[in-house]
């Protein structure tokens, strides 16, 4: 009976979360036998929906992991970071407490990720036993989806908590409590799983089952395998407290770069995906266009009543207006220095960073220390958000540009910059559609050496992916987390005090509302702008452009991190789970 109850758990509550339209009619209790469920495609699909339900629970990806993992870095910050001792700020400032009030609950992301893994483990066992996947293409695809979703969950467990318990079979009495495993064990299993999964999954639009980015496909499985290979072959803080590469020869950098190169090139050569215009990528996301075969490779599918993407990561609306029924946005935002990292001709800047918020339906300047990710906007949606608590926008987990830049990185490592150049150039060409000469100059510098090309990749990934929460994991695997945070801390100080390369920037911005009655026109955000010119141009309003606020107890740059980032690259396991682990779990690796 317990096995039947476990399968019921997979199939329950599907309408709560999954925005895919394949919601099951509830099967009769007599049909809830593992051999029936996992040999019947219409029933087995419920396993996928059940796993995805764990993604969308209140304290899972929806309201915790997507909001708090990945900040603070040189690209992204928690916008209230100066409240350094608040539990929310502590999740990002490398001073996280194991009893954190935002996370230390029984139903938080750690629990929900393992809940999803357990549901996946049950489904994998059932499909292998009863699915006849060697002859049933639909059940094979479902197995491929489940293997891939389990890999997503483990990827984010490792990103969030480092070395975690490895569970690849359904829980038994003997395995109720497990210690942390070295992540290498998990990486090797996931790399094998994703290789298997790619053999079962169709390419985007290759079948009726892969026409939506809400369904896992071969390209995403391969892209995720490349991402995991780069992480497995990179640096990380280990259980022995050192930051180092893996000692396992099976996970050597050369082998992992080889996997990443192969998987990315398979995707590129397939021709199944394409780069869109940069703004078009995010307009389509916000318009909720779920067609596969474009740039988005897979999205966590939130229903209209779930998910907090714009709610936390989007452009802030301080009041309700014609675009939104909720006054939300801007929990996180770009690191202020990113506003000045983009070339003025780089089209990604205006899409990625918005130096304004909306009040009473009009854009007004925000502050240098309170910028917003322009990739997520209520005003780009085709529907008006009416929920006061969620916006329902999908989370774009991977896009084709990531594959192209991973290919460039891996090929440079293995074959040198000349071979890698075409892939970096693809991204740069899109960023500078109106100034190809700048692309030519950039590429000449980037390809001067293997080291120069690597540095170009490090910078390009920041420019391309700010707001997509990839930066922290990138910096960790490159062993650049502490160095880049120290570098950006000094940049922030120089920017605030207008020294160094920021010395000639105006101390104020100058602005007015445009003729359309809602768009703000701002002067003073670019190198070459001056206060004298801002005053001479006749803008109706101005404000001091600063990160400081009256009564600040700590500077913006000192709030960025409170301890050595390399000593807390990951969150501690929350106290609730330590106390209920039968003494199998601890946080000794962070002490």
Nearest to 332 by CA among 135, 479, 466: 466
Task: Give the chain's domains with CATH numbers.
Answer: 2-263+571-577 (1.25.40.390), 500-548 (no CATH)
Rounded CA-CA distance 307/140 in Å is 29
Enter the tokens of residue 60: 């899972």
CB within 8 Å of 500: residues ≥ 6 apart: 491, 494
Rounded CA-CA distance 243/235 in Å is 6
Q: What is the 3-class SS of 563-588, one letter each residue? A: CCHHHCCCCCCCHHHHHCCCCCCCCH
> Which segments of 179-301 are extended strands (E)?
236-237, 243-244, 296-300
Enter the tokens of residue 194: 């994703």
Rounded CA-CA distance 407/404 in Å is 5
Nearest to 231 by CA among 256, 259, 198: 256
pLDDT at 304: 85
Nearest to 482 by CA among 429, 378, 560: 560
Residue with tokens 């702008």: 529
Beta-bridge partners for 541: 511
CB atoms within 10 A of CB 240: 8
Rounded CA-CA distance 434/150 in Å is 42
Enter the tokens of residue 549: 């606020």
Nearest to 37 by CA among 1, 55, 2, 10: 10
Nearest to 42 by CA among 64, 12, 11, 72: 11
Nearest to 301 by CA among 498, 149, 184: 149
Nearest to 16 by CA among 45, 50, 64: 50
Q: Exposed/middle/buried for 437, CB within 10 Å: 0-12, 13-18, 19+?
A: exposed
CB within 8 Å of 280: residues ≥ 6 apart: none
Identify the DSSP state of 523: E
pLDDT at 100: 97
- Reported as type and span, the H/E element at residue 541 is strand 541-544
Enter the tokens of residue 392: 């329902």
Nearest to 282 by CA among 362, 211, 381, 363: 381
Residue with tokens 């970071």: 81
- Map residue 357 onto helix, strand or coil: strand
- Map residue 373 onto helix, strand or coil: strand
Rounded CA-CA distance 177/120 in Å is 18
Per-residue pLDDT of the chain (591 residues; tens, 9 = 90+): 334 434 445 444 433 333 343 333 333 344 578 999 999 999 999 999 999 999 999 999 999 999 999 999 999 999 999 999 999 999 999 999 999 999 999 999 999 999 999 999 999 999 999 999 999 999 999 999 999 999 999 999 999 999 999 999 999 999 999 999 999 999 999 999 999 999 999 999 999 989 999 999 999 999 999 999 999 999 999 999 999 999 999 999 999 999 999 999 999 999 999 999 999 999 999 999 999 999 999 999 998 888 999 999 999 999 999 999 999 999 999 999 999 999 999 999 999 999 999 999 999 999 999 999 999 999 999 999 999 899 999 999 999 999 999 999 999 999 999 999 999 999 999 999 999 999 999 999 999 999 999 999 999 999 999 999 999 999 999 999 999 999 999 999 999 999 999 999 999 999 999 999 999 999 999 999 999 999 999 899 999 999 999 989 999 999 999 999 999 999 999 999 999 999 999 999 888
pLDDT at 20: 40
Question: What is the DSSP annotation of 178-192?
Answer: -----HHHHHHHHHH
pLDDT at 29: 40
Tell how far CA 460 is from the center of its chain. 16
Rounded CA-CA distance 182/44 in Å is 32
């Amino acid at each position: 009976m317990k096995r039947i109850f476990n399968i019921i758990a997979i199939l329950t509550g599907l309408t709560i979360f999954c925005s895919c339209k394949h919601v099951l009619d509830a099967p009769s209790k007599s049909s809830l036998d593992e051999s029936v469920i996992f040999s019947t495609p219409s029933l087995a699909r419920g396993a996928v929906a059940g796993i995805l339900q764990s993604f969308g629970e209140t304290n899972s990806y929806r309201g915790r992991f997507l909001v708090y993992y990945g900040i603070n870095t040189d690209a992204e910050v928690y916008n209230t970071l100066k409240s350094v001792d608040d539990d929310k700020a502590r999740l990002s400032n490398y001073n996280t407490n194991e009893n954190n009030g935002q996370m230390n609950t029984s139903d938080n992301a750690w629990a929900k990720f393992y809940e999803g893994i357990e549901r996946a483990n049950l489904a994998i066992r059932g499909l292998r036993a009863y699915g006849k996947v060697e002859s049933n293409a639909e059940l094979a695809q479902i197995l491929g989806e489940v293997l891939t979703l389990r890999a997503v969950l483990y990827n984010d467990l490792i990103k969030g908590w480092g070395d975690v318990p490895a569970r690849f079979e359904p829980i038994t009495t003997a395995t109720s409590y497990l210690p942390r495993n070295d992540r290498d064990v998990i990486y090797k299993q996931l790399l094998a799983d994703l290789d298997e999964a790619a053999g079962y999954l169709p390419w985007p639009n290759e079948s009726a089952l892969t026409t939506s980015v809400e369904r896992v496909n071969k390209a995403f499985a391969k892209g995720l395998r490349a991402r995991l290979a780069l992480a497995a072959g990179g640096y990380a803080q280990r259980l022995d407290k050192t930051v180092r590469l893996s000692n396992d020869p099976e996970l050597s950098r050369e082998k992992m770069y080889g996997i990443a190169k192969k998987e990315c090139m398979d995707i590129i050569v397939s021709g199944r995906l394409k780069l869109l215009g940069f703004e078009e990528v995010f307009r389509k996301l916000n318009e909720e266009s779920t067609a596969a075969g474009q740039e988005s490779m897979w999205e966590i599918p939130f229903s209209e009543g779930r998910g907090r993407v714009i709610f936390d990561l989007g452009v802030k609306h301080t009041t309700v207006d014609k675009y939104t029924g909720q006054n939300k946005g801007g929990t996180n935002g770009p690191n202020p220095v990113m506003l000045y990292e983009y070339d003025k001709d780089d089209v990604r800047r205006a899409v990625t960073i918005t130096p304004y918020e909306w009040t009473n339906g009009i854009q007004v300047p925000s502050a240098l220390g309170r910028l917003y990710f322009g990739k997520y906007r209520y005003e780009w949606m085709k529907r008006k958000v009416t929920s006061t608590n969620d916006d329902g926008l999908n989370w774009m987990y991977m896009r084709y540009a990531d594959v192209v830049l991973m290919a460039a990185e891996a090929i440079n490592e293995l074959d040198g910059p000349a071979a890698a150049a075409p892939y970096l150039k693809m991204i740069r060409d899109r960023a500078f559609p109106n100034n190809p000469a700048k692309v030519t100059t950039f590429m000449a510098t980037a390809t001067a050496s293997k080291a120069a090309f690597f540095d170009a990749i490090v910078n390009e990934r920041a420019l391309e992916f700010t707001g997509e929460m990839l930066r922290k994991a990138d910096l960790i695997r490159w062993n650049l987390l502490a160095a880049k945070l120290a570098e950006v801390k000094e940049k922030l100080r120089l920017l605030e005090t207008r020294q160094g390369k920021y010395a000639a920037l105006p101390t104020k911005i100058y602005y007015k509302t445009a003729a359309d009655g809602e768009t703000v026109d701002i002067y003073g955000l670019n190198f070459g702008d001056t206060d004298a010119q801002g005053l001479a141009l006749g803008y109706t309003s101005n404000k001091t452009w600063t990160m400081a606020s009256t009564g600040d107890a700590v500077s913006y740059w000192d709030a960025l991190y409170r301890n050595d980032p390399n000593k807390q690259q990951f969150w501690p396991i929350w106290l609730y789970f330590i106390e209920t682990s039968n003494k199998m779990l601890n946080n000794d690796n962070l002490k």
